[in-house]
């Protein structure tokens, strides 16, 4: 069995096909013992949106078809999922794999190679984003910053929110208490918040997160919504979650006039449903990092809505060194014949 001291000739080649800047060079620098090939993912200059790449050359395609191990991004590998005959393991650089599943041909069998995701790291970044947005919302930081430009103390005082709430007096409902949801729960509980968690099925005591005060299954979502000041979605995109919050589902939020934070996937709720909930007063604000359509179209009414905060899907941007750390740990597991971490189920979609 191969181990870390095996010679480079005996170690399996890693093919890198990613638009994460500098990931191949950093992998070579930090781990010179791991053999690497690189295929450049060239984004079309006039089409920068994810998934729109320039055509690969014959040689580049041959390199990918020879790959045993592939380090790539969901939208970068795109339509090549069924054109990788020698692939045994694909590590993606995203925490979520829905970009892969959007490319699947459901009329064909699932690919036979193992897919693993960027796990164990995104939670801390999303956690920081969520806590930062809650505090910024309660303290009115955005308006205070704008008021500062007037260089007038009285105007600055007027922009402050004297009715802000301390976090220890707030409750948060986390939709999806997986790896990322648990990290958010831990931070919120540490800051004194009451934490509710939405899960697909009942969990035995030993599998419950100690930082979640109240668990609810999908069929009791209403109870969570009516008891939480903040609703934070971190659910993956699956057939069960698409459209989960559409229509009048958020009506129970009117009890607390909740603030909705979406750092999961945009297709859990339509733009129209968000605007409807805001207009009805069920939600008092929406903080959105993900959307049904990305990039968010220029003519979307969300842009100029006074109760909406928009960020460009950056709650947990990929950092090359972190992606490499996750990959390398799994690489040595692969070399040593051990179980890989963060495996994605082709059947479940996450």
The residues carrying an active-site annotation are: 265, 294, 313
Closest C-alpha among 231, 236, 201, 229 to residue 215: 201
Contact status, residue 318 vs residue 94, Cβ threshold 8 Å:
yes
Torsion, Cα 296 297 302 305, to 10 degrees, reads 130
For 44, the 3-state DSSP assignment is coil
Q: Are 32 and 4 in contact (CB under 8 A)?
A: no
The total of other beta-carbon atoms located within 10 Å of residue 23's CB is: 24
Dist CA 262 CA 349 (whole Å): 20
3-state secondary structure of 197: strand
Residue whose C-alpha is closest to residue 344's, from 179, 79, 71, 98: 98
Long-range contacts of residues 325-328, Cβ cutoff 8 Å, at least 24 apart: 325/121, 326/91, 326/118, 326/119, 326/120, 326/121, 327/27, 327/71, 327/91, 328/27, 328/30, 328/31, 328/34
Beta strands across the sheet bearing 114-116: 36-38, 14-17, 69-72, 89-92, 114-116
Greatest pairwise CA separation for the chain in angstroms: 72
Query: Phi/psi zone of residue 51: left (φ > 0), alpha (ψ -120 to 50 degrees), beta?
Result: left
* Distance of alpha carbon 287 from alpha carbon 266, whole angstroms: 12
Q: Which residue has the tokens 């009115």?
A: 140
């Amino acid at each position: 069995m191969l181990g870390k001291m095996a010679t480079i000739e005996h170690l399996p080649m890693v093919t890198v096909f990613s638009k994460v800047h500098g990931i191949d060079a950093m992998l070579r620098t930090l781990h010179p013992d791991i053999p690497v090939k690189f295929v450049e993912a060239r984004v079309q200059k006039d089409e920068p949106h994810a998934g729109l790449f320039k055509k690969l050359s014959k040689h580049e395609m041959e390199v990918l078809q020879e790959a045993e191990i592939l380090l790539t991004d969901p939208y970068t590998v795109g339509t090549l999922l069924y054109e990788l005959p020698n692939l045994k393991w694909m590590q993606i650089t995203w925490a979520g794999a829905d970009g892969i599943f959007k490319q699947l041909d459901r009329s064909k069998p699932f690919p036979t190679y193992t897919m693993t995701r960027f796990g164990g790291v995104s939670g801390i970044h999303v956690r920081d984003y969520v806590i930062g947005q809650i505090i910024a919302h309660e303290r009115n930081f955005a308006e205070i910053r704008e008021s500062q430009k007037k260089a007038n103390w009285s105007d600055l005082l007027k922009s402050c929110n004297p009715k802000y709430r301390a976090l220890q007096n707030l409750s948060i409902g986390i939709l999806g208490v997986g790896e990322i949801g648990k990290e958010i729960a831990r931070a919120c509980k540490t800051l004194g918040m009451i934490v509710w968690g939405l899960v697909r099925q009942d969990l035995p005591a030993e599998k419950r997160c100690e930082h979640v005060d109240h668990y609810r299954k999908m069929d009791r979502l209403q109870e969570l919504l009516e008891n939480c000041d903040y609703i934070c979605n971190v659910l993956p995109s699956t057939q069960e979650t698409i459209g989960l919050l559409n229509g009048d589902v958020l009506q129970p939020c009117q009890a607390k006039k909740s603030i909705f934070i979406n750092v999961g996937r945009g297709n859990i709720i339509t733009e129209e449903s968000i605007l409807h909930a805001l207009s009805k007063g069920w939600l008092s604000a929406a903080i959105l990092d993900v959307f049904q359509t990305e990039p968010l179209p220029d003519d979307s009414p969300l842009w100029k809505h006074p109760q909406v905060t928009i960020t460009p899907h950056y709650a947990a941007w990929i950092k090359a060194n972190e992606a490499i750390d996750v990959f390398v740990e799994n690489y040595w597991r692969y070399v040593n014949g051990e179980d890989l971490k963060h495996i994605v189920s082709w059947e479940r979609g996450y």
